[in-house]
Every structure is written in structure tokens, then in C-alpha cells.
Structure 1
Amino acid sequence: MDRGTPDEANRHRLTVDVRRAGSGAVITPAGELDHHSAEKLRESLDQCVADGCFRIVIDCSGLEFCDSTGLNVLLATRVDVEAAGGQVHLAGMRPNVARVFEITGAGAVFTLHGSLDDALAALPSD
């Protein structure tokens, strides 16, 4: 079975870093967030919420791409967290990812920040 070039094999690679801070967390997905990789982010976010994390900043600065599946993961997390009285903020979107939020109207339901530092400053402290 030909898996193509190494670049093609890694094209759908997504890494997700989770950094907890009190009752909050910074989630940093990097790579392509699409139907091939969205489950990895969903699992990280679901675990964070299950652990009582209700102040979440998603640092989008490492996202190279986001499709509707990835967007749905983010939207579902926002609904769950806000239902529990928490907040989800998005930070540092690249223009091509921000465009997906603009086209779909999803940008209107999230609190968006230009940088991670701005998002962290906007959240209430523990």
C-alpha cells in the first residue's frame, strides 16, 4: 500500500497540548483540524470538561486549517461549557481559519482574541 510522500502522510496530523491552570485550561491544537483529526481534539476537550475545567482558552495560532467537523467540535464544547456556567475563548486565529468562522457566523458565538495573552487576561482569575 502506497502511503504517498512523508508530507502527504503528515498532512492530517494534529497535535493537542493541554495546559491546566486551576479551574481553567489552555488547549493548543496545531496542524489541520478536519474530519480526519477532529476526534483527537474532541477527546482532549471532553476530558478537560469532565475534569471540571470550565474556563477554556483555545489557542488557535497553530491551526493551519479547520473544516466543518473541527468547527462542530469547538461549537459543541462551547455549548457544554457555557451550560455549566463556564466560558470558551478562542485566540490567535490565522486568517484562513478566521475566515471559516466569518463565513459560517461562528465567530459571533465565540469570544475571539488576537493573542493568547489577551484571552488569558479576559478570563476571570480563580
Structure 2
Amino acid sequence: MTGDEMPDTEQAPQPGHLSIVATSSEGIRILTLAGEIDNDTGGTLRQALDVPAVPQPRLVIDLRQVTFMDSTGINILVAAHQAATDAGGWLRLAAPTGAVMRTIQIVGIDTVIDCRPTLGEALSH
């Protein structure tokens, strides 16, 4: 590296790691995920989804930085969708990457959980 080059400061998620950032917008809880969702990281996602019950919860899970998801992730998303629906609310998935969307489509989750191509679309009514 020469003196003119700057190191790339954008860090990719570590393999086998999942980070979650929780925010909200207009009463919608947004979980932005980065990394892999599997048996090793599923507990982190379950914990993030385990929040005090609110009437008619609205939740968007931003998947654009998720590089891998196995059946553990699918099961967690289905359970969260069911919990939100049972409470009179909803759960939407935003911007799944190609590999993650293929997994979602193979098991048919896209016919059960609303999947939107962008975060903005997932937040719209």
C-alpha cells in the first residue's frame, strides 16, 4: 500500500457471525441483520425478536446484508411471523440477498411472509 491509498474501512461480517441493529420508524420496529443466520447465530436473532409484547406489533427484518440463512433462520422467522400475526400485527422481510431469497423461495416462506425488494417498500403501508 502506498501512502496515497486508504485502507478499506468497510468491514464485512465475520463468517459465522451475526450482528443486529434495532431501530424504529413510525412505530415499525426495524431489525437490520448482517452476517449469517444458522444454528450458531440463531440464538442472537431469537433474543433480538424477543421483546415485550405490544399490541399490533409491526416488524421489518432487513436482510440485505445477510450472506447465508439455513433452516434455523427459516424457523425463527416463521415463529416471529406467527407471533406478530397472533398479536394482530405483521412481519415483513426486506431486501433479501439472492442466496437468502432462494432459500426463502425453496421452502415457500415467501408465500407466508411478505417479502419486499427494498427496505423502503417494506416500511410502506
Scaled by the length of structure 1, the TM-score of the pair is 0.83
Is it true that 1:41 corresponds to 2:41 in the alignment?
A: no
In structure 2, what is the Cα distance between the partners aligned to 1:35 and 1:118? 29
Partner of 2:8 in structure 1? none
Q: Which of 1 and 2 has greater Rg?
A: 2
Distance 1:22 1:51, change over 3 A: farther
Listed one character per residue, the Cα deviations across residues 65-89 of structure 1 (whole Å, up to 9, x for unaligned) are 0000011111100000100000001
Alignment-derived partner of residue 26 in structure 1: 30
Partner of 1:92: 95
Q: CA shift at 1:37, angstroms?
A: 0.1
Q: CA deviation at 1:11?
A: 1.2
**TM-score under structure 2 length normalisation:** 0.84
The match for 1:76 is 79
Paired residue type of 1:69: T
Question: How far does the alpha carbon of each residue in 1:38-58 deviate from its partner, in whole angstroms, 9 at most, with x for none?
Answer: 1101100112xx152710001
Q: Percent identity?
A: 32
Task: Name the structure 2 match of 1:63.
Answer: 66
Q: Deviations over 1:6-33 (max 9, x none)?
A: xxxx311100111034542001111000
Letter in 1 for 2:42: A
Q: Secondary structure at the match of 1:61?
A: strand
Alpha-carbon distance in structure 2 between the residues aligned to 1:72 and 1:116: 22
Q: How far apart, CA to CA, are the structure 2 residues paired with 1:97 and 1:68?
A: 11
Structure 1 alignment gaps of length 5 or more: 1-9
User: Structure 2: how far apart are the matches of 1:11 and 1:85?
Assistant: 36
Structure 2: stretches of 5+ with no match in the other structure: 1-13
How many residue pairs are counted as aligned between the two chains?
111
Structure 1 segments (4+ residues) deviating >6 Å: none
Please give the secondary structure, in 2, of the residue aligned with 1:26.
strand
Point out the structure with the larger helix share. 1
